[in-house]
Structure 1
């Protein structure tokens, strides 16, 4: 699966809040799926864990070491090395960066919404096994963007 052949997200979009904090209010991902996604995120080569650069201190953030590639400035959150963070279990969504065309494509398919004041996309938390695979493909596209590469 690649971003080009992602399916439409079934059902209505979850309710959200924001802009600060920006997050998901319903259709919350089951905690085991949130944890699986987090374990995948933190296992990417060149990724290190550090506090998020946004005012959501409970979020868990991944950053990319400079030697693993340098994407454009908007591949990172607030001029840092952070390219994605996962919100706490009561929310379960993920903010991440994507190239503009990819962000529009993911939004058009219903998998997330752009942040109203930052360069990120709010990726809705996965509700089941199929959705975790879609979320993972979107996260891999964010990772590739941060690395300065096309989606691998």
Structure 2
């Protein structure tokens, strides 16, 4: 059993836009933190880089090779192998697929909001070193979900 203990995200949530494109408008993650998070994302076992399956072509997406990804259909975006993407630097947020209980935790703790029309969760970009670790833990739950390790 994988647990996720999320601290409450400090301060008010950022302004967002959407549903298409769905993203973050302020409290933007510093570019070095965005890049660090991206490097971590792309280094996960079984992950490959490919274009996103959503109408935000500047987003950088990670997909999971079939032999690694045995999660349920809703662990992937639009019947693809994509389970997460990071928006461009002027936004810095991420979308990822998460199990319903994790989505609820993320929303209640103020780390993100559900996408209004897709099965993904918008997770706000990390504003500092502490927050990158929290966002990373949330991303690892998306990875575990896509791998079929949690439901």
Band of TM-score, shorter chain: over 0.9
Alignment-derived partner of residue 126 in structure 1: 126
Alignment-derived partner of residue 55 in structure 1: 55
Alignment-derived partner of residue 16 in structure 2: 16
Partner secondary structure for residue 39 of structure 1 = helix
Matched-pair contact (CA < 8 Å) for 1:3–1:102 = no
Per-residue deviation, residues 67-97 of structure 1 (Å, max 9, x unmatched): 1131001000000000000000000000000
Query: Shift in Å at residue 4 of structure 1?
Result: 3.0
Partner secondary structure for residue 20 of structure 1 = coil
Alignment-derived partner of residue 80 in structure 2: 80
Give distance in 1, aligned partners of 2:26 and 2:127. Answer: 11
Query: Shift in Å at residue 3 of structure 1?
Result: 5.0
Matched-pair contact (CA < 8 Å) for 1:53–1:78 = yes
Structure 2: any 5+ residue segments left out of the alignment?
none
Aligned length: 150
Structure 1 segments, 4+ long, off by >4 Å, are none
Structure 1: any 5+ residue segments left out of the alignment?
none
> What TM-score comes out, normalization by structure 1 length?
0.96
Alignment-derived partner of residue 101 in structure 1: 101
Give distance in 1, aligned partners of 2:20 and 2:3. Answer: 28
Matched-pair contact (CA < 8 Å) for 2:77–2:120 = yes
Matched-pair contact (CA < 8 Å) for 2:6–2:105 = no
Matched-pair contact (CA < 8 Å) for 1:7–1:109 = yes
Give distance in 2, aligned partners of 1:125 and 1:4. Answer: 18
RMSD: 1.1
Per-residue deviation, residues 98-117 of structure 1 (Å, max 9, x unmatched): 00111011100000000000
